[in-house]
């Protein structure tokens, strides 16, 4: 029953987040969270910010955080936009840069929020078929569209493309915005930030949730030409100017500035990812090459849902989709070495 609902949401199919269990303790490898805590400097910064200032609204422009990101990336603060997680940045971008009259294009298998936003904001999209090896169909994203969205590395496959490929997309679509969603870029892929000054239609989106262990803080940002940043600000200020709270700004700034901790954490994740990929292959799994903090894998003798249920019964959560194209595959987040050993023991029991 959807009485009183608006027509816009009555038939909407919302995004389904990964399970966050409360009834029992699991080894949680289903939501791509970082298995390591945030930098101690983050905790200190949040504690320092948690004072009398909480009675005041936060800085709507996130001035100090934007400046920290700009310094790290070699940009000007005017080229950086911060908001409440990269999902909100993407939602603002879909509203700011895409029109209903022209189709957005993105790969058929990618982050499932893209088609949700398309429908919710009254837009149209064309999802182009993946290559047989699940690599991105780049040629089909070139031209004849109203905008391009590319997750790099892609989710849920973990496969990344090089900067030459990103630049090919930009050159082929000079009159529309190309969004490169780099939520997982810090785990081995190349960021397109260095292409921003050359391509005014490029918007790069990143997050503090993954490589900086701050999924619970909800901070994301976009980087691009000042014109694009102004477009995002226009949408934000038409909805809610104060999107990033005072504690989140302080914590995210500390995380950005603690480069040593960031490098050490991401290296541990990447090393564990490679060891896990080898171990899964040793158990007969096909594992796609990943440059993210997760692996995409399938087994020839067990369906994806069977593996999902079997692992859950043994206390391990992974991610599975009903989509016919990937129903035999699991996305497995990279945890600590101990958590991945638990995964392997659980697989040994029924694979």
Residue 90: HSE in the Cβ half-sphere, 13 Å Cα cutoff? 24
Q: Do domains 7-37+260-348 and 40-258 have the same CATH topology?
A: no
pLDDT of residue 27: 95
Report pLDDT for 25: 85
Give the single-character DSSP code of 197. Answer: T
Residue 156 preceded by cis peptide, ω within 30:
yes
Which pLDDT score, from 0 to 100, does residue 200 have? 98
Tell me how far apart the alpha carbons of residues 210 and 215 are, in angstroms, rounded to a whole number: 7
Q: What is the DSSP letter of 314?
A: T
> What pLDDT does residue 24 have?
61
Q: What is the pLDDT of residue 20?
A: 76
- Eight-class DSSP state of 84: S
Residue 55: count of CB within 10 angstroms of its CB: 6
Question: How many Cα atoms are found within 13 Å in the side-chain-facing hemisphere of 261?
Answer: 14
Nearest of 305, 229, 211, 226 to residue 265 by alpha carbon: 211
pLDDT tens digits, one per residue of 129-186:
999 999 999 999 999 999 999 999 999 999 999 999 999 999 999 999 999 999 999 9
CA dist 122 and 124 (Å) reads 7
**Contact in structure between 33 and 334 (CB atoms under 8 Å):** no
The helix (H) or strand (E) run that includes residue 340 is: helix 337-348
- Please name the CATH architecture into which domain 7-37+260-348 falls: Alpha-Beta Complex (3.90)
Strand ranges across the sheet with 125-128 = 80-83, 220-224, 202-207, 178-181, 148-151, 104-107, 125-128
CB atoms within 10 A of CB 164: 8
- The CATH label, of 3.40.47.10, 3.30.1600.10, 3.40.50.300, 3.40.640.10, for the domain at 40-258 is 3.40.640.10
Residue ranges with strand state E in 20-77 = 27-28
Q: Residue 186 has which token pair?
A: 């810090």
Residue ranges of the domains in the chain?
Answer: 7-37+260-348, 40-258
pLDDT reported for residue 23: 64
Q: What percent of the chain has pLDDT over 90?
A: 92
Round to whole Å and give the CA distance between 178 and 169: 8
166, two tokens: 């990103």
CB 247 within 8 A of CB 57: no
**pLDDT values of the chain reduced to their tens digit, one per residue, 351 residues:** 788 888 878 887 777 777 777 766 889 999 999 999 999 999 999 999 999 999 999 999 999 999 999 999 999 999 999 999 999 999 999 999 999 999 999 999 999 999 999 999 999 999 999 999 999 999 999 999 999 999 999 999 999 999 999 999 999 999 999 999 999 999 999 999 999 999 999 999 999 999 999 999 999 999 999 999 999 999 999 999 999 999 999 999 999 999 999 999 999 999 999 999 999 999 999 999 999 999 999 999 999 999 999 999 999 999 999 999 999 999 999 999 999 999 999 999 987
């Amino acid at each position: 029953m959807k009485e009183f609902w608006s027509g816009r949401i009555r038939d909407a199919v919302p995004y389904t987040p990964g399970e966050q269990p409360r009834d029992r303790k699991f080894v949680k490898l289903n939501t791509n969270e970082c298995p390591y805590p945030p930098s101690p400097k983050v905790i200190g910064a949040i504690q320092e910010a948690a004072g009398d200032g909480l009675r005041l609204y936060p800085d709507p422009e996130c001035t100090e955080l934007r400046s920290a990101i700009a310094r790290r990336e070699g940009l000007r603060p005017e080229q950086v936009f911060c908001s409440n997680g990269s999902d909100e940045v993407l939602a603002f971008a879909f509203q700011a840069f895409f029109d209903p009259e022209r189709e957005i294009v993105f790969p058929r298998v990618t982050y499932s929020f893209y088609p949700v936003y398309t429908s919710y904001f009254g837009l149209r999209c064309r999802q182009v078929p993946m290559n047989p090896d699940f690599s991105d169909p780049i040629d089909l994203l070139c031209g004849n569209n109203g905008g391009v969205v590319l997750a790099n590395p892609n989710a849920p496959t973990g496969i990344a493309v090089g900067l030459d490929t990103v630049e090919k997309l930009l050159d082929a679509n000079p009159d529309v915005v190309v969004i490169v969603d780099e939520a997982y870029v810090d785990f081995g892929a190349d960021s397109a930030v260095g292409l921003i000054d050359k391509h005014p239609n490029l918007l790069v989106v990143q997050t503090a949730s993954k490589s900086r262990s701050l999924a619970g803080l909800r901070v994301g940002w976009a980087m691009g030409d000042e014109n694009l940043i102004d477009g995002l600000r226009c949408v934000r200020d038409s909805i809610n100017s104060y999107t990033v709270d005072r504690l989140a700004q302080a914590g995210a700034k500390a995380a950005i500035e603690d480069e040593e901790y960031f490098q050490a954490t991401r290296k541990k994740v990447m090393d564990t990812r490679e060891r896990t990929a080898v171990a899964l292959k040793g158990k007969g799994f096909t594992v796609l090459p990943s440059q993210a903090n997760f692996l995409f894998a399938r087994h020839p003798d067990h369906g994806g849902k069977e593996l999902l249920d079997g692992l859950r019964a043994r206390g391990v959560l992974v991610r599975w989709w009903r989509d016919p194209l990937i129903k035999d595959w699991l996305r497995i987040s990279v945890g600590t070495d101990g958590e991945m050993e638990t995964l392997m023991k659980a697989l040994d029991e029924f694979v």
